[in-house]
Chains A and B, each alone.
Chain A
Amino acid sequence: MRLIFITLLALVIAAAVGLGSTWMTTTKGTELGTLTIGAWTARPRTGTADVDPYSRATITRNGELPIGTGDGVAFTATRDDRKKPLDGRCDIVVSGVTPAARFWTLTLYDSKGHLVANSLQRYGFTSQEIVRGADGSFEIRIASRSRSGNWLPTGGIERYALMLRLYDTPVGVATRTQRDAPMPAIATVGCP
């Protein structure tokens, strides 16, 4: 009797620990093979055949199509440079320069990876549409109400993610630091 109870308890713990940790790692992601520059994180290996098992599990679970290495690389940010989560009700400024690439796009997604509806039908910017300063740097204002210049509407949602995709770029598996890939700064400049 006691043996059965103990075996059952061990199995229950095993199932809880095993499946719980799998769920955690596939929803939250792991640090395996990540490249972090400022507030931005990329997983260049997800675009190759030697993708790590955790990223693979996450990708199939979400049904994503990861960007291939010969195509480009995708950087994600869910927090600003001071680690404050990106809030759609605040004014957030993305400014600076981007790494060398033929084209880049910056897109705003909700926490499930869907685009956010807005009356302008603007979901992001491409490197070609952006208004730049004389020195080639740019400033994108992300806010729920309209702003002058490069305004990206948030639709007032609470949490969102920014994705900066570089196409045809030398940035990839070999990139390590800000010097190889100067990423734009993200700052929260005001909350109502």
Chain B
Amino acid sequence: MIRLAFTIIAGVLLGAIVHLVSVLALPRIASQDAYSRLTPSTKLNAVTQLPAADPSYTMMPYMDPAFAVAVCRYDLSNGPIKLTVPVSQAYTSVSFYTRNDVAYYAINDRSAGKKVIELDLMTEAQHNALPEDEEVTSADRLIIDSPTSTGLIVMKALAPEPGLMAQAQATLAASSCKVQVDQPAKQAEAPPPVNEPPPLRPSRR
């Protein structure tokens, strides 16, 4: 009898461990997360507009039907990404998600304070590899550090009335998300390395 009680207690304790491990592991093993759902229909390092949310759209749950949405699925291993999003009349926002769906940064048109939201997205290593003198002029340059080398940028433009949806979509159509191939620093006077490769994952400092 005692042995059975021990068995049950041991089972429950082990179960608690199983529970913790499975909760922590789920984001890594989930095959139906937003990134995986968007992979077949979106281009890498380019802007893809998502269809307007309606009842037949079942790719992702809880999408706001008042918004035009565009996605840039990024991979920073070939260099930082430059993102420009023109601001629509009503409200525009840009949100950044890691490969595992963690929303690590979001900005809206008012906090960007300009007619165009301009951002540089890079990994921490790429940020550290930036030349020092460039940091000085970075006041008008917004640099975002991505915790993972792949992830999602989600651009949203509000259509306050259904009739303004076309306008919101047109705004997003003018946005761009590109890999910065050439490092802007002094490429004119240093021709020998044909195309100086951006620091490809240098060993962590």
Contact = CB atoms under 8 A, between A and B. Distances in A.
Contacts of B160: 103, 126-129
B186 interface: no
Contacts of A112: 61
B54 interface: yes
Nearest to A58: B26
A6 B160 CA distance: 63
B32 A63 contact: yes
Contacts of B53: 115, 123
Nearest to B111: A70
Interface stretch (A11-19, A91-99, A131-139): A11-19
Interface residues of A, number: 62
B23 A109 contact: no
Contact of B100 (A46, A60, A67, A70): A60
A6 B7 contact: yes
Contacts of B12: 13-14, 17
A126 B156 CA distance: 15
A124 interface: yes
A71 B93 contact: yes
A31 B12 CA distance: 22
Interface stretch (A82-90, A140-148, A162-170, A178-186): A162-170
A26 interface: yes
Contact of A63 (B61, B102, B107): B61
Given A19-B22, A60-B26, A68 B16 contact: no
Contact of B105 (A17, A18, A70): A70
Interface in A41-59: 46-49, 51, 53-54, 56-57, 59
Interface in B18-60: 18-19, 21-24, 26-27, 30, 32-34, 36-37, 53-60
Contacts of A47: 103, 106
Contact of A61 (B10, B30, B147): B30
Nearest to B54: A115
A116 B61 CA distance: 12
A66 B64 CA distance: 11
A167 B158 contact: yes
18 contacts: A9-B11, A13-B8, A14-B17, A19-B18, A49-B147, A53-B24, A61-B32, A63-B59, A65-B152, A67-B95, A67-B106, A68-B106, A69-B103, A103-B90, A103-B91, A114-B57, A115-B54, A167-B158
Interface of A: 6, 9-19, 21-22, 25-26, 46-49, 51, 53-54, 56-57, 59-72, 74, 102-103, 105, 107, 109, 112-117, 121, 123-124, 126-129, 163, 165, 167-168
